[in-house]
Chains A and B, each alone.
Chain A
Amino acid sequence: MSLEVRNVSRSFDGKKAVNNISFFAEPGEIIGILGTSGCGKSTILRAISGLDSGYDGDIAINGNVEKEIQDTTGFIFQEPRLFPWLTVLDNVTFGLKGDKDDKITSAKAYLKNVGLEESGGLYPRQLSGGMAQRVAIARALVTSPEILLLDEPFSALDAFTKMQLQDLLLDVWRAYQSTIILVTHDIDEALYLCDRIIILRGQPGELHKEIKIEEPRPRDRASKQLAAHKAEILESLDLNLKTS
């Protein structure tokens, strides 16, 4: 599914958080939204998801302008946000509708995808941070969302788990060809995963630059090309102005 964001602005209590953002995502494209904290990355993502409908401008999914939450959209939050009173398996089936056996079968398949097939009976309190986030990923994917929104999904994880889950995300993307919008403040992560990186800057956040990453996947995290892109991004972020 394609996604179009047209002239979206959002103010909170009269103070603008993002100003006039427009971009277009092709079906199956991975787009990274990169910027220092406070520049409105998450605001954009919440507007796309429909969790926040108080924005100006239009957001069109497959050409249809809607402000409500769509069934075809999945959201992976910064924290796992699992329901503590449900087991891992029940957490994954939470968003599914229909026959119970079918739900369990597909939930188990996705748990296997994220490497947690043995942990279906555990409660969230028994999971490590990385395991919990994997459950959250399985929960978002099990409904086969055509647009997947990720809000700094790996930022709370250690470097190794992070790399592992980034590869997992690419596996999933290859299998389902979802359109992915990834909000991140990790330049390496954006370079490794995205087809295109959108850089937001300033307060209120404005679209500063779009960078296309042409490197074929799987990418080498240490390649010269990515390093060159990183230098370009660092320069355009102008970290001397960084507020956080």
Chain B
Amino acid sequence: MKHKGELTSTVVVSNRISEKKGGRTNRNFRGGEALLLGSIIPIALVLVWEILSRIGVFPAYQLPAPSTILETIRQMAQDGSLWNHIGITTYRVFVGFVFGTIAAVILGSLVGFYKKAEQLFDPMIQAFRSIPSLAWVPLFILWMGIGEPSKVTMIAVGVFFPVYLNLVSGITGVDRKLIEVGKMYGLNTFQLIKRVILPAALPSFLVGLRSGLGLGWMFVVAAELMGASKGLGYLLVLGQNTLSPETIIASIILFAIIGKLSDWILKLIEKRALRWQDNLVQS
């Protein structure tokens, strides 16, 4: 009986492995196809836009041609101001993201692990959450001036809530059955947290990080609109004041590119950390 069991199990395993390999190349191929399909409409739209701009259907002072926008970006890259703007904006988002995440991890862990802390903090945090975060802007400027601190705080506030909420729901949602297994092996509370609860809460935490980062990019625009001398948000204001729509659109495009890039990095980390997960995309 037992020997039969060993045999069948090895066969099953090797089958699975070869199936997986086959699946992967197949998926890569399909990935390329999806990329191709997904880019047809954007490319066509850009082409139509370029043509319509050139024949003068869109007036250049309202909607400049894509080539004009690219040229603006190229010029900014050449004189170095582009890297300056991108650098300072990314720096603000990064610092705000780090502070917001640290605060969320500390408070989220407390609230997730201790019932008392939940009763103490959670109602207040939930109340703060229902304040539209942009409403803080005047207060932060009043407190901290229009320098870096108020902007970074603004972004940190934006990042805090999704990270906090997802972490708390991750921790409180850990399967009680897995905790029981840990208890059966004599783990103490600290070991239980480290070896069972944290790994189990990780997927939800990473989701929180990603949506937090998204909000960080949203808030940096708000922070830079309210007063800045550098940054992509400042380019938006500059474009408005100097009546150059190409600067505004160039800034929007740059936001899209770096926002997507930073999300992609987090997604990569997520994929690596959650290799074990059983979901459609990965298995």
Least CB separation from B198: chain A residue = A85
List which A99-131 residues lie within 8 A (CB) of chain B.
115-119, 122-126, 128, 131
Partner of A125, one of B5, B183, B202, B278: B278
Interface of B is mostly: helix
Residues of B within 8 A of A61 (CB): none
Residues of B within 8 A of A69 (CB): 183-184, 186
Residues of A within 8 A of B185 (CB): 94-95, 143
Which stretch from B9-17, B95-103, B118-126, B140-148 is at the chain A interface? B9-17
List which B205-246 residues lie within 8 A (CB) of chain A.
none
Q: Are A83 and B9 in contact (CB under 8 A)?
A: no
Which stretch from A3-11, A30-38, A160-168, A186-194 is at the chain B interface? A160-168
Least CB separation from A46: chain B residue = B180
Least CB separation from B3: chain A residue = A115
Q: Bound state CA distance, A82 and B183, in angstroms?
A: 14
Partner of B12, one of A128, A164, A167: A128
Q: Are B275 and A51 in contact (CB under 8 A)?
A: no
B1 on interface, CB distance cutoff 8 Å:
yes
A81 on interface, CB distance cutoff 8 Å:
yes
Q: Are A122 and B13 in contact (CB under 8 A)?
A: yes
Question: Shortest distance in angstroms between B12's beta carbon and chain A's nearest beta carbon?
Answer: 7
List which B262-283 residues lie within 8 A (CB) of chain A.
274-278, 283
Say yes or no: A71-B9 contact (C-beta < 8 A), given A79-B177, A164-B1, A167-B1: no
Residues of B within 8 A of A167 (CB): 1-2
Residues of A within 8 A of B276 (CB): 84-86, 123-125
B259 on interface, CB distance cutoff 8 Å:
no
B52 on interface, CB distance cutoff 8 Å:
no
Question: Shortest distance in angstroms between A13's beta carbon and chain B's nearest beta carbon?
Answer: 18
Q: Are B1 and A163 in contact (CB under 8 A)?
A: yes
Mask, B244-260, CB within 8 Å of A = 1, is 00000000000000000
Partner of B9, one of A94, A118, A126: A118
Q: Are A119 and B9 in contact (CB under 8 A)?
A: yes
Q: Are B6 and A115 in contact (CB under 8 A)?
A: yes
Question: Shortest distance in angstroms between A76's beta carbon and chain B's nearest beta carbon?
Answer: 10
Partner of B180, one of A51, A71, A73, A131: A51
Q: Are A171 and B2 in contact (CB under 8 A)?
A: yes
Residues of B within 8 A of A123 (CB): 275-276
Q: Are A115 and B183 in contact (CB under 8 A)?
A: no
Q: Are B200 and A85 in contact (CB under 8 A)?
A: yes
B199 on interface, CB distance cutoff 8 Å:
yes
Q: Are B16 and A126 in contact (CB under 8 A)?
A: yes
A77 on interface, CB distance cutoff 8 Å:
yes
Partner of B199, one of A73, A83, A131: A83
Q: Are B184 and A51 in contact (CB under 8 A)?
A: yes
Interface size (B, Cβ < 8 Å)?
Answer: 29
List which B1-55 residues lie within 8 A (CB) of chain A.
1-2, 4-6, 9-10, 12-13, 16
Least CB separation from B20: chain A residue = A126
Q: Bound state CA distance, A175 and B240, in angstroms?
A: 82
Residues of A within 8 A of B278 (CB): 84, 125
Residues of B within 8 A of A124 (CB): 276
Q: Bound state CA distance, A21 and B124, in angstroms?
A: 49
Mask, B173-208, CB within 8 Å of A = 1, is 000011011011110000000011001101000000
Least CB separation from B186: chain A residue = A71
A49 on interface, CB distance cutoff 8 Å:
yes
Q: Bound state CA distance, A63 and B278, in angstroms?
A: 45
Q: Bound state CA distance, A117 and B9, in angstroms?
A: 9
Q: Bound state CA distance, A69 and B200, in angstroms?
A: 23
Least CB separation from A131: chain B residue = B9
Q: Bound state CA distance, A84 and B203, in angstroms?
A: 12
Q: Bound state CA distance, A86 and B278, in angstroms?
A: 13
Q: Bound state CA distance, A171 and B12, in angstroms?
A: 24
Q: Are B9 and A164 in contact (CB under 8 A)?
A: no
Task: List A residues at the B interface (Cβ < 8 Å).
Answer: 49, 51, 69, 71, 73-75, 77, 79, 81, 83-86, 94-95, 115-119, 122-126, 128, 131, 143, 163-164, 167-168, 171
List 20 additional contacts besides A94-B195, A95-B186, A117-B6; criterion CB under 8 Å.
A51-B184, A74-B184, A75-B181, A75-B184, A77-B177, A81-B177, A83-B199, A84-B277, A85-B199, A94-B181, A94-B185, A95-B185, A115-B6, A118-B9, A119-B13, A125-B283, A126-B283, A131-B12, A164-B1, A164-B5
In the A-B complex, the 5 residue pairs with the closest CB atoms: A125-B278, A95-B185, A115-B6, A115-B5, A123-B276
25 contacts between A and B (CB under 8 A): A51-B180, A51-B184, A69-B186, A73-B184, A74-B184, A77-B177, A79-B177, A81-B180, A83-B200, A84-B276, A84-B278, A86-B276, A94-B181, A94-B195, A115-B6, A115-B9, A117-B6, A119-B9, A122-B13, A123-B275, A124-B276, A128-B12, A164-B2, A164-B5, A168-B1
